[in-house]
């Protein structure tokens, strides 16, 4: 069964796409937790970071550099947060690796 992210990548359901290339897609989160909250999703299905393989190394690095690029484009010069949830206890809600990029306000710690 395809995840919601696979359906977005395949254009089976709409999303507010802010970036896309051959490796990943980035969309605005539908329930933002900060003034700016985007998801960066690899097009290749990697269930979660805890199950990534050595062959996923370039994709994982690309996701982080994409987050950096989007943060610059969004003028998050004062700071931003990158979050990857892993497993139910880690807050994972979709079994398809994705990075949360949050910014636009002072973020507190601990996050949750």
Parallel, antiparallel, or unpaired: how do β-strands 17-20 and 36-42 relate?
unpaired
- Residue 73 resides in a domain: yes
Residue 106 has a CB neighbour count (10 Å cut-off) of 8
Burial label for 82, CB within 10 Å (0-12, 13-18, 19+), is middle
Total structural domains within the chain: 1
Enumerate the active-site residues.
98
- Residue 109 resides in a domain: no
Q: pLDDT-derived band of residue 90, with 50, 70 and 90 as boundaries?
A: very high
Q: Dmax over Cα atoms in the chain, in whole Å?
A: 40
What token pair was written down for 60? 């994982």
Which CATH number do you get for residue 74? 3.30.428.10
Mean pLDDT, the chain, as a whole number? 96
- Residue 111 resides in a domain: no
- Residue 110 resides in a domain: no
What does the pLDDT look like over 25-35, one tens digit per residue?
Answer: 999 999 999 99
Domain containing residue 93:
4-103
DSSP state of 3: -
What does the pLDDT look like over 53-71, one tens digit per residue?
Answer: 999 999 999 999 999 999 9
Q: What is the pLDDT of residue 5?
A: 97
């Amino acid at each position: 069964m395809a995840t919601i992210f696979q359906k977005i990548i395949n254009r089976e359901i709409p999303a507010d796409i802010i970036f896309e290339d051959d490796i990943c897609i980035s969309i605005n989160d539908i329930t933002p937790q900060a003034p700016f909250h985007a998801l960066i999703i690899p097009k290749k299905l990697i269930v979660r970071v805890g199950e990534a393989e050595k062959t996923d190394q370039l994709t994982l690095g690309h996701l982080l550099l994409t987050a950096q690029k989007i943060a610059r484009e969004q003028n998050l010069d004062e700071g931003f947060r990158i979050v990857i949830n892993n497993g139910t206890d880690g807050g994972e809600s979709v079994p398809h690796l994705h990075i949360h990029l949050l910014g636009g306000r002072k973020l507190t710690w601990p996050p949750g």
